[in-house]
Amino acid sequence: MDGSLSVLAAIADPVRWTVLATLAEGPRCVCSLQDVVPIAGNLLSYHLKILREAGLVTATRRGRWMDYALAERAHDRMAAALPGGRARVSA
């Protein structure tokens, strides 16, 4: 799948969009993400994996916990995925 399409597919899912919106407020532990997105842990892990593979989210291990944050250039990657977006991002 094209990089732009994978980014758009990643953000098109309502669960992943909610995760991104939550992480836009600041990094979160996976346990606090489960409070916001009340789905099974394995399903949340799947959605986080999709967001990591799209380059939108980073993960850091802290003992037994995983902390998630928006990737440094997540906003740029999302804007660039839109038709005509690359020209605006690089300008």
Residue 60 sits in which domain range? 3-80
**What would the pLDDT profile of 49-61 be if each residue is shown by its tens digit?**
999 998 999 999 9
- Answer with the residue of higher pLDDT: 89 or 27: 27
**What would the pLDDT profile of 66-84 be if each residue is shown by its tens digit?**
999 999 988 888 888 888 7
Q: Per the domain annotation, does 89 fall within a domain?
A: no
CB proximity list for 52: less than 8 A, separation 6 or greater: 58, 59
What percent of the chain is predicted at pLDDT more than 90? 55
Residues 38 and 21: their CA atoms lie apart, in Å, by: 15
Number of domains in the chain: 1
CATH number, position 29: 1.10.10.10
The overall pTM is greater than 0.85: no
Q: Per the domain annotation, does 50 fall within a domain?
A: yes
Q: Which residue has the tokens 């995760």?
A: 19
Whether residue 2 has pLDDT greater than 80: no
Instruction: Identify whether the C-beta of residue 71 lies closer than 8 Å to the C-beta of residue 58.
Output: yes
